[in-house]
């Protein structure tokens, strides 16, 4: 991506963040009874990021997702590979930690996910998830989600 396209993608992403309420999320249900809820997208390290919670009964799994903030410039150079430092964490609000996961991944253009946080939670509990991405010279600006586990 050239600098103008990257700047345009960042501005578009920032405008999207301002237009979406902080706790907004989309929920989907799969055939297995799993409900997936994602928090609002954010820009980190020049990329689009979000954190999601998959709930199946009283079992929850969190994941963070990284993708391009916009399409590559047509006819432009291929996106450069970035080394990303990721941090995913989850907790039951007012209760136990569901753990945290720190990782490194190489990102070029395909969407990647960070997983490894989750567990069993009491019905009616609220799960809070956070996902941060850093890549030199950008510091993380974590995205979050809060989900009530209905069971």
Per-residue model confidence as pLDDT tens digits over 19-74: 333 344 556 655 568 999 999 999 998 899 999 999 999 999 999 999 999 888 88
Which sign does the torsion angle of CA 132, 20, 29, 58 carry? positive
Whether the pTM exceeds 0.75: the reply is yes
Name the residue ranges covered by the structural domains of the chain: 3-21+43-148
If you search the block for the tokens 């450069």, which residue do you land on? Answer: 80
Q: How far apart are the first and last CA of the chain?
A: 44
Residue 80 confidence class, pLDDT cut points 50, 70, 90 = confident
**Whole-angstrom Cα distance, residue 58 to residue 48?**
29
**Under DSSP, is residue 12 helix (H, G, I), strand (E, B) or coil?**
helix
CATH architecture observed for domain 3-21+43-148: Sandwich (2.60)
């Amino acid at each position: 991506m050239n600098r103008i396209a990257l700047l345009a993608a960042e501005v578009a992403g920032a405008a999207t963040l301002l237009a979406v309420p902080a706790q907004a999320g989309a929920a989907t249900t799969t055939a297995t009874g799993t409900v997936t809820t994602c928090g609002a997208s954010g820009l980190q390290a020049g990329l689009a990021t979000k954190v999601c919670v998959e709930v199946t009964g009283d079992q929850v799994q969190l994941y963070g997702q990284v993708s391009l903030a916009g399409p590559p410039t047509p006819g432009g150079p291929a996106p450069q590979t970035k080394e990303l430092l990721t941090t995913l964490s989850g907790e039951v609000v007012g209760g136990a930690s569901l753990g945290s996961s720190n990782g490194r991944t190489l990102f070029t253009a395909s969407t990647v996910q960070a997983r490894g946080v989750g567990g069993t939670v009491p019905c009616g509990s609220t799960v809070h998830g956070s996902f941060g991405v850093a890549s030199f010279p950008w510091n993380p600006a974590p995205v979050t989600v809060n989900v009530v586990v209905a069971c």
